[in-house]
A and B are shown apart, each in its own frame.
Chain A
Amino acid sequence: MTAMRERPARSDPTGERTPRPQVRVRGALFDRLFVPAVLVTLVVYLSATNDAFFSRINVTNVLMQASILAIVAFGATFVIMAGQLDLSMGTGSALISVIGATVMVDTGSVLLGLGACLLAGLLLGLVNGVVVTALHVPSFIATLGTMIICGGIALAMTNGGVVSGLPAGFREIATLRLLGLPVLVWGTAAIFLLLWWLQRQTVFGYQVLAVGGNAEAARLSGISLGRVRLLVFVLAGVATALAAIALLVRVQSGQPNANGTLALEAIAAVVVGGTSLNGGRGSVVRTLWGVLLIAVLRNGLDLSGISEDYKQVVLGTVFILAASVDFLRRRLVRRRVTPSSAGPTLSSPGAPDTTPGQVPAATGTVPPSSAAAPAR
């Protein structure tokens, strides 16, 4: 496993990690702890000002309300780390919830319904991935297309109405509680752990970061760009299917109009958590913090009862502030470094694990970027 882990490090040709370990640690710490610190502050503030907030039932509610966003955002993290976007996850999950509910209602079988969901998710991911890798359509446009298509199919299947009347067995599973927490929260936690493992402990996880950080370097080190990009979209498709199942668990019905803005919220959660929208840097742990921050903020704003219009202002402001930490971190690092040491290595201000995307061409181990081959 260690040998596998070193692979992307070799593909990172900067070779400049030794000169400034101190700076790296400080910058990384600030970067890593910023969103959790904001989250903790927010939780403390809300607990102090609102009796209802830290109640058992509300904590459960926040976790439930966060679950669908979390599942989608975890999947989106891989897509974004690979330097792509997936906009189809919102309407995709609405469509898949309709498909799953329809299959369950028609066949009376919960398993067939869940199988249909996963199959549809795989298919959606494959379509996105093939369009991006084989047809070379930018992912923004490709997934915008499938987003619109999914919305259309969901409406065509339902005329806009919900699909209700799921088998009683599904309701029983959905309302199950383990150790006091709903099964949906456990399921979300399991998905998180699985994807965390995938990101940290497998070659694939490192390849995703390598491809997103510097596609050319990744290609030269033997990574198949097309394969990695296809796989992240398939992963996102499966996450979309799991979010659809979560939606079914939550409301016991297929919802063609649900999750209209979910894909954008997921991207926001990923970026707020600290994953770079440019690709090459990030983690699902960061996304977890981003999701929790958004969910707690939403819940707190609802509990506080402030006007809807100002809620939107607050939410948008927090998105911007949280995402701007990346810039602040760079400033912080640059200030600490510039006076103390000098040399060409300083042209790359980021810590090595954070910005392989900014590999300076001057290091000479990579061909100049003008030689960049098409994505293959």
Chain B
Amino acid sequence: MRTRSLLLPRSSSAHPLDSRSRRGVGAVAAAGLALSLAACSGGGGEASAGGGDDPMTVEVNVYSRSLPYFQDFVAGAQERAEAEGVTLNVTYGETDPQLQYDQVQNALTKSPDGVIVVPVDPAALVPVFQQASDGGLPVLTAVNDIEEDGWPYVVGHVGKEYFEVGREKAQYIVDALGGQGTVAMIHGIRGLLFSELQGQGAMEVFAENPGITVIDGPYTGEFSSDAGLAAAENVLTANPDVDALYFDNDDIALGGVLAAQQRGIAMEDIVIIGTDGGEPARQAVANGELDMTITLCGVATGKLAMDTLVAFVRDGQKPDERFVDVPSQLITTESYEDVEALIAAGDC
């Protein structure tokens, strides 16, 4: 512990403030950091072997503040952290890979006991993770997975495959339409893995079902109901005989519900689905407006991420599989009450 506090000022003073040569200076700082971490990691390990009452600090860097899902994730992690006596420092990458790179690097200079990152970009952070790994500092990724060349440097990944989410959603539509019909897909943000991977998964299932015609619709550019409404209006104008509307997020899906209602389409004549399962979307499912949404259980994911990291830091216990799968929950009129109960209990 003493070595750590002695080394801290040096590594933080080397922190890149000059943006002109950020990467270069950053690399120097990281090298110094790796040395300092290597020097103190042994001592830290011995100290934490004592058990659950040892004070532990975990740095959490989350994708963005602007989506309720990540607030749930932080709340879940916070809850487990309090139970385990862990101090949590939370920062937000705000969908900016550069910003997140700097934030995670800053977090490493504080020499925490572990880091949980929800990456904005699957590749950008790999060098930082490598530095952390070289310094013996455990990093766990959550929700958004990173590319394969970064896997050796992290403890594991806690989350749900977006590709699988897309497949599940598409299968729901195929079943609801009895394998026959026209589906319009309205995406959120171009290039966002959440949007793109769900779309690819869904497309794969639709392709397996020859009775399904797919209209690959527009991207709304932002997750807001107004953007979803405008996109759905235009899709319904161009293709009046659509049987189902696929959205990759609930906020835009709720705009789709409004568009269908304004066109006078009865809610039972069209299948509309989203992803996230926030409060307004669950209400819309209960009202019979939204047919289905899928929640990726932010609170449960946050809890599981914290538990996985704490188990590794305290007991050196690595997860059995690199990918720790978090159960997701389909929310339909049938399952609505069960999921509400799960959420109320903090299990989703």
Contacts and interface: CB of A to CB of B under 8 A. Distances in A.
B278 A161 contact: yes
A52 B216 CA distance: 18
Given A61-B233, A251-B258, A309-B190, A162 B222 contact: no
A55 B234 CA distance: 12
Q: Which of A57, A64, A159, A253 has the most CB of B within 10 A?
A: A159
A256 B237 contact: no
A253 B280 contact: yes
Given A155-B66, A164-B280, A309-B190, A257 B219 contact: no
Interface stretch (B154-162, B224-232, B321-329): B224-232
A160 B215 contact: no
Contact of A257 (B187, B190, B223, B235): B223
A164 B219 CA distance: 23
B53 interface: no
Interface string B170-199: 000000000000000001001000000000
Nearest to B258: A251
Nearest to B92: A155
A259 B66 contact: no
Interface in A31-52: 50, 52
A269 B32 CA distance: 51
Interface residues on A, range: 35 or more
A252 B237 contact: no
B237 A159 contact: no
Contacts of A162: 225, 251, 254, 278, 280
Interface string B246-271: 00000100110010001100000000
Interface in A148-182: 155, 159-162, 164-165, 175
Given A160-B71, A251-B255, A308 B219 contact: yes
B66 A160 contact: yes
A16 interface: no
A303 B238 contact: yes
Contacts of A164: 254, 280, 283
A260 interface: yes
B215 A305 contact: yes
Nearest to A306: B218
B262 to A, nearest CB: 8
Nearest to B187: A308
Contacts of B187: 308
Contacts of A299: 234
Given A161-B278, A308-B218, A308-B219, A255 B225 contact: yes
Contacts of B279: 161
A308 B224 CA distance: 18
Nearest to B262: A175
A308 B225 contact: no
B251 A61 contact: no
Nearest to A158: B68
Nearest to B240: A52
Interface in A284-313: 298-299, 302-303, 305, 308-309, 311
Contacts of B237: 52, 55, 57-58, 61, 303
Contact of A159 (B71, B190, B251): B71
B190 A155 contact: no
Given A50-B238, A162-B225, 8 more contacts: A64-B233, A94-B224, A161-B279, A162-B278, A258-B226, A258-B227, A302-B235, A305-B215
25 contacts: A52-B237, A55-B237, A61-B233, A155-B66, A159-B71, A160-B66, A160-B71, A161-B280, A162-B278, A175-B262, A251-B225, A251-B226, A251-B229, A251-B254, A253-B225, A253-B254, A253-B280, A255-B225, A257-B222, A261-B222, A302-B238, A303-B234, A303-B237, A303-B238, A308-B190
Q: Which 9 A-B pairs have the closest CB atoms?
A: A302-B234, A258-B224, A251-B225, A161-B68, A159-B71, A164-B280, A303-B238, A61-B233, A160-B66
